[in-house]
Structure 1
Amino acid sequence: MFPARLALLGAASLLVLASLGPPAVAQQAAAPAPAVAGPALPIALPPLPQVQDAPWPGVVRLQVDATDLNRRIFDVTETIPVERAGPLVLFFPEWLPGNHGPVGPIAQLAGLEITANGQRVEWVRDTLHPFAFHIDVPQGASEITARFQHLSPTTGSQGRVTMTAEMLNIQWEKMLLYPAGRWSRNITVQPSVTLPDGWRFGTALEPETASGAVTTFRPVNLEVLVDSPMFAGVHYRQIDLDPGGRSPVRANIVADKPESLEATDEQIGILRDLITQADRLYGARHFDHYDFLIAMTDKLGGIGLEHHRSSENSVDPEFFTGWATHVGDRDLLAHEYNHSWDGKWRRPADQLVPNFNTPLQNSLLWVYEGQTQYFGQVLAARSGLTSKQQALDSLAMTAATFDTRVGRQWRALQDTANDPIISQRQPKGWLSWQRDEDYYSEGQLIWLDVDTLIRERTNGRKSLDDFARAFFGVEDGDYTPAPYTFEDVVRTLNGVVPYDWADFLRTRLDGHGPGAPLDGLARGGYRLVYAETPSDWQKTLYGEYKRNDFTYSLGIQTGEGNVIRSVQWNSPAFQAGLATGMEIVAVNGRAASPSAISEAITAAKDPNTAVELILKDADRYRTVRIDYHDGLRYPRLERIAGTPDRLGDILTPRRR
């Protein structure tokens, strides 16, 4: 049994309790002294209100002042109409769409002060639901006003930075409270924002009025508001990605420096081809306009977050100007754009919840994210964001990663859908054993398996593209979220080609291997092999990230300063006692470097030679000897002679 809730106290009672000190104000009321001294008794708060599908009266006015660039502070004033005097619960959003977990940054809310009729109204936080604030609305009040600050982290160690001297990212769910007891779609909000002078912005919201630095947007329901963030900055460019199209698609770009905005005509053409290829894949749009919000920055915190009519995308400042050497963000825009269909319009039924404080369930993230990972990379190749060879090399890295993901011995892929809730995207020391959000990229391999099986069974007449049109490409122009279940996915696949798809999927989702689901590679005409040199894609990617990969030889990956970034569970390095965070000081008597490690691994192909490392572990040094003799190994895809190149066809642009 759970402990009783704490009582909702009227304003007068709270003022009395204030004399007892802060702990008493928060949780306890004075009580007659018991015969035997003991702890003060808590007074139960009323339960949180049940969610009703009924309108909340009036319009919430949300004003955000985003001009305090030096201290990275957003000042918020919010006026909320009320139904009646008496108890009211306000929520700070906890379960954030696209984050797949209860990660609302409530610690960044500060200075909360609520007033009604010019008088202060005290609040009490719910001790079982700390994202809920109880207040007592005084008689005669028709609205309350909440004033507080959203404190952007000033360094990455505090969380994701959302304001810099050059740009900012407004995510409305982090800057508002909303009344409990209603579906989000039943609460109407009119937002406005004050930006620094001269700044411009991108958002899916539609401006209603502009006066100086203040822009007021048209009222929308709370669900749409949370789904419509803003990027703003002093260096800004908007690019039309669908000239003459039936619904506008725009890239709204902010940058740390103006030269980052200098896209070539060829690069703009590639982004426009992304829109064309998505149209040819799905055959329908579920938005009246779409805004890519793109930050070219190494100052603003990184992000890739989907929305129905927009997406938040943080890429390297040299995304355009260093096109040949900066490839790590190349498929991000394709991935997030794909989510407008997969995850936002059609979304898992267990994610279609009443409000932002109702827990989400993630059982179908291998569709929501896994199929998006698949089609995101396919669309990146079809549009020219990546070449066919780059896509193959990237897929080889994915296949090798999950073919050696030994954690599947104890943890099935289906369970990784719970990872955003369990670990909330915190770093892990033993990723290959603990597993992570593997439903993304192992999900990609499953959908490749599905695609190539459909092609094989229909002799190339049908493919997963047909599923995409049947599942996502219907009801053109409809923006209302359409929920789906596992059975809906299976039914649609059977409509493309009859097969026991339920067993096919469950075997891969609930099984334990061994190895990753790589049948799709073989049916696609390729096999996973290993070479002594990395592919051009891997060399460029890891050069950009300053990583050195010895995962498939010693079992380690290193970063700057020869610090170990990861250790493969049960690898030679693991058996020798290496762990993440250790520094390699020397290799076979030489100062450590990536080339020295590579040369030592190559030399150890001689069975009489070992790899000897001097390690620095905090303030301790030790020497380890690793008996590994199979040389350097880097993943590649190799064509299987005499087989159809189905994978090549999957990556080929669609001409209609």
Structure 2
Amino acid sequence: MIRVLFYSAVSFLLTSLSCSAEQKRALEYTVSFEHRAAHYAEIQMVVPTPATGTIELMMPTWTPGSYLIREYARHVDHLHATSDGKAPLSIQKTSKNRWLVECPIGKDVRITYQLYCHEMSVRTNWVDRDMAVLNGAATFLTVAGAESTPHRIHFDVPEDWSRSMTSLVAVEGRDHTYVAENLDELIDSPVLCGNPVVQDFNAGGVPHVLATIGDSSLWDTAKAAADVQQIVARQQAFWGVVPYSRFKFLNVISETGGGLEHDNSTLVMTSRWNYRNKEKYEDWLSLVSHEFFHTWNVRRLRPVELTQYDYETENNTRSLWVAEGLTSYYEDLMLVRAGLIDQSAYLKRLSKSIEKLQTNPGRNVQSLSESSFDSWIKFYRPDENSSNSRVSYYVKGCVVGFLLDARIRELTNDARSLDDAMRLLYQRHSGPKGYSNSDFAAILSEVAGTDMNAWLAQHVETTDELDYQPALNWLGLRFAASKSEGTVAETKAATAPTNEAAREVKPAETDETPNDKREEPRAWIGIQTSDGSASVIITGVTHDSPAHEAGLNVDDEILAFNRYRVNSRTWRDQLTQLGIGETIDVLIARRGEIRTIEVKPVTEPTEKWNLKPVAEPSDEVKARLAKWLASQ
């Protein structure tokens, strides 16, 4: 049975906030949009009478859930301070995100500043004629040391904007006015202002909202809300507890992508064209599922290093693979369990994650633990060599989650699963306590009935190749083969290949034309090239590939093969026709200099990672597969 836990009734919360405000006056903000066409918001902040002759202003440098220092203070302009709105006060900048204001004792201090808002993402700000998308960390200055003080915000919206939407508690009798109990809640509550299309629904006895802003004319928002409702119901049932009293899905039609989790809301971005494209709409549902799963895993159940945020510096943890990777594992599993996708679609989506991992050379360089710890300097700062030097804790975490789930099911003869481990971890370590790596290992060992430390060490702390065979055998799955390797019906479950070719990454330009649809092998040299241009510009070189060994570089422009001119449409076919294993002269331009480099193409790697059920599973294996895809 689901236990609905209301932290407090809304009326009680409003009363508490009112009493708290009397004891400790709130920091008060007014956000207006007089220059919205120029992408500016104007912010006025009133600081209650300071007890000393100075106050120190601080602005966060990052947003929880997006692990990169983003230097939000760079968008602050025209910062001024006055006493009671009259006498100007001295402001001295003391660091990249802090200012010291000299002020008289006994008078309120009024701070004003302009904020440039022209980055459409789920962790930054956007303002234009049609709407505003604001994130707390990127928007609000606060007073250092006043983190526990209430923050009261009023949005002075233009007349042609009908709504402001946020998960913050609304102040009764004041349109567009909200209260955050503290700085954490302010930063955790994104805001939409404009004319969103709003769909309300109930799940688990709790009100939910899907608010879609932007051009939603091609979206059936009522159907989208119904699908989201199914995701919500399935995940509430999974966890067995509803830890919020209200929830808002803020959906921005922005022609961008991404999502970010919050305690009582989530902010997601998508395209107007995605609803009517089945696969892309499923991608959106997967994104919603991922961010909503975070309501439990990472928002209320956190690695111990993230239980108390420091908003001014990196907060490193080796457990992002649990927070993000296992969430990535469950995002699509929840869709198939909710009946929003079928078994075939789910296996296809899981296969993509496995293929991304197995065709990424960086998996041999960086462990899951290292990937988690270095997210601040690597994952969010990709470059042309990233695929060679790092692994994604989202992707590998998802795949390890799959193997871990199957391992627990096998060890317990399907009596327990990773589902049980996640629920037990939540029961014991949600809230301010958090969990350590050893805590997580202990939970897994308890659920599995055996010590899981060695298994975790191999999969999380090393770069050893993953062994898929036990999971495939237990669930009755196999990797489909290409035509040259036999028919689907003839192929049984396969182990992960260990040959060097399997460690090479297919060039990005071949992803949409899989080898199993070709009669002839393709030549391959291990480069990725830019799209949208007639020129062939190298954007990536795979380690240990022919291009890497020959000395081709990122930013080289390929002009010709064996003196035959090439362009972005023809070079792949030309490469194949010139012969696999034959040395060719590649004419390039490098920093304005023309030179020739000899390269010997090889056959394009043809390893396949498409999960399919085995041809003739036993009834027992069928039952295992069905239970995995349907279990709580």
State which of 286, 311, 333 in structure 1 corresponds to 2:266: 311
Secondary structure of the 1:346 match is coil
Aligned to 2:149: 187
* Superposed displacement of residue 72, structure 1: 0.1
Distance in 1, matches of 2:271 and 2:445, equals 42
What percentage of aligned pairs have identical amino acids? 21
Distance in 2, matches of 1:91 and 1:160, equals 17
Q: Which amino acid aligns with 1:506?
A: A
Secondary structure of the 2:24 match is coil
Change (3 A) 1:83 1:140: closer
Conserved 8 A contact 2:188-2:263: yes
Change (3 A) 1:608 1:181: closer
* Superposed displacement of residue 363, structure 1: 2.1
* Superposed displacement of residue 230, structure 1: 1.1
State which of 551, 556, 563 in structure 2 corresponds to 1:577: 551
Distance in 1, matches of 2:540 and 2:510, equals 11
Aligned to 2:99: 133
Instruction: Show the 5 A alignment for 1:469-488.
Output: 469-472=423-426, 483-488=434-439
CA RMSD of aligned residues (A): 3.4
Q: Deviations over 1:136-171 (max 9, x none)?
A: 332333x21111111113799xx9661233332111
Q: Deviations over 1:448-471 (max 9, x none)?
A: 111000111122222112123323
Distance in 2, matches of 1:564 and 1:532, equals 30
Change (3 A) 1:551 1:506: farther
Q: Deviations over 1:497-554 (max 9, x none)?
A: 2222222212222212246878645544444466479xxxxxxxxxxxx954399954
Aligned to 2:317: 362
* Superposed displacement of residue 609, structure 1: 4.7
Change (3 A) 1:574 1:521: farther
Change (3 A) 1:244 1:303: closer
Distance in 2, matches of 1:164 and 1:582, equals 39
* Superposed displacement of residue 341, structure 1: 0.4
* Superposed displacement of residue 487, structure 1: 2.6
Instruction: Show the 5 A alignment for 1:125-204.
Output: 125-127=93-95, 130-141=96-107, 143-153=108-118, 162-182=126-146, 184=147, 186-199=148-161, 200-204=163-167
Secondary structure of the 1:411 match is coil
Distance in 1, matches of 2:452 and 2:298, equals 21
Aligned to 1:630: 603
Change (3 A) 1:355 1:422: closer
* Superposed displacement of residue 269, structure 1: 3.7
1:443 pairs with 2:397: yes
Gaps of 5+ in 2: 1-21, 485-507, 516-523
Distance in 2, matches of 1:617 and 1:173, equals 43
Distance in 1, matches of 2:427 and 2:33, equals 39
Aligned to 1:371: 326
Change (3 A) 1:607 1:411: closer
* Superposed displacement of residue 352, structure 1: 1.7
Q: TM-score, normalised by structure 1?
A: 0.77
Change (3 A) 1:465 1:220: same
Distance in 1, matches of 2:190 and 2:82, equals 27
1:568 pairs with 2:546: no
State which of 234, 245, 259 in structure 2 corresponds to 1:277: 234
Secondary structure of the 1:506 match is helix
* Superposed displacement of residue 94, structure 1: 2.2
Tell me the matched-pair count.
568
1:259 pairs with 2:217: yes
Instruction: Show the 5 A alignment for 1:48-127.
Output: 57-117=24-84, 118-127=86-95
Conserved 8 A contact 1:369-1:440: yes
Conserved 8 A contact 2:69-2:313: no
* Superposed displacement of residue 344, structure 1: 0.3
Aligned to 2:198: 238
Distance in 1, matches of 2:73 and 2:209, equals 32
Change (3 A) 1:324 1:397: closer
Change (3 A) 1:616 1:382: farther
Conserved 8 A contact 1:160-1:302: no
Aligned to 1:221: 182
Secondary structure of the 1:147 match is strand
Conserved 8 A contact 1:601-1:629: no
Change (3 A) 1:518 1:431: farther
1:207 pairs with 2:167: no
State which of 270, 273, 276 in structure 2 corresponds to 1:321: 276
Q: Which amino acid aligns with 1:131?
A: N
* Superposed displacement of residue 400, structure 1: 2.8
Conserved 8 A contact 2:459-2:466: no
Secondary structure of the 1:106 match is helix
Conserved 8 A contact 1:564-1:582: yes
Change (3 A) 1:229 1:486: same
Distance in 1, matches of 2:314 and 2:130, equals 36
Q: Deviations over 1:108-138 (max 9, x none)?
A: 11111112243222122224xx322223332
Distance in 1, matches of 2:342 and 2:260, equals 24
Change (3 A) 1:325 1:311: closer
* Superposed displacement of residue 290, structure 1: 1.1
Q: Deviations over 1:222-276 (max 9, x none)?
A: 2111111112334x21223x43641112211112x241333474x5443222112
Distance in 1, matches of 2:627 and 2:552, equals 41
Distance in 2, matches of 1:354 and 1:160, equals 18
Conserved 8 A contact 1:108-1:150: yes
Conserved 8 A contact 1:96-1:104: no
1:397 pairs with 2:363: no
Q: TM-score, normalised by structure 2?
A: 0.80
